[in-house]
Amino acid sequence: MLLNMDFASDEPIYMQIRNGIVTGIATGKLRDGDPLPSVRTLGADIGVNLHTVNKAYKRLQSEGFIEILRNRGAVIRAGDSEKNVVQFLEIAENSLKNIVSEAITRKVDRAIIHQIMDNIFDELGGNTQ
């Protein structure tokens, strides 16, 4: 699994792992049923504590992106993520509010923010309907 960790980032490592897996699902690199490495294996591969990976996996599980099965480990279950769409929208709105606030403060035009969102959506293969 290709995850790019930025150890100098302010973003916690467990969130970088979480976000990398979600991006893999969004881009189709990870599909329902695909197994994820064990927490020990992934931790060793990217050079982080297994508890950090476990925290990322638990978050992904609670958000409906993965299922953790006894004796089989973690597998992608992206279809379950639709169950938590309301929770996601609340979190996303708060995050976007911070971004838009800063854009307004810096006098960034609304159209530029919209274009950036559209570009990211297209890059990740999102459905624009």
Distance CA 46, CA 38 (A): 12
- Same domain, yes or no, for 56 and 95? no
**Residue 76 scores a pLDDT above 90:** yes
* Per-residue model confidence (pLDDT) at position 81: 65
Checking phi first, is residue 73 left (phi over 0); if not, alpha (psi -120 to 50) or beta?
left
Q: Within this chain, do residues 30 and 62 fall inside the same structural domain, yes or no?
A: yes
The pTM for the full model equals 0.75
Please report, rounded to a whole number, the percentage of residues in the chain having pLDDT higher than 70.
93
Q: Count of domains in the chain?
A: 2
Residue 2 inside a domain? The answer is no
* In a domain? residue 1: no
Residues 78 and 19 in one domain: yes
Residues 73 and 53 in one domain: yes
Report CA-CA distances (Å) from 34 to 13, 56, 119. Answer: 22, 17, 27
Q: Which residues, 6+ apart, have CB-to-CB distance to 29 below 8 Å?
A: none
Domain of 87 in residue numbering reads as: 83-123
pLDDT tens, position by position, 1-28: 679 899 999 999 999 999 999 999 988 8
In a domain, 128, yes or no: no
pLDDT for 39 beyond 90: yes
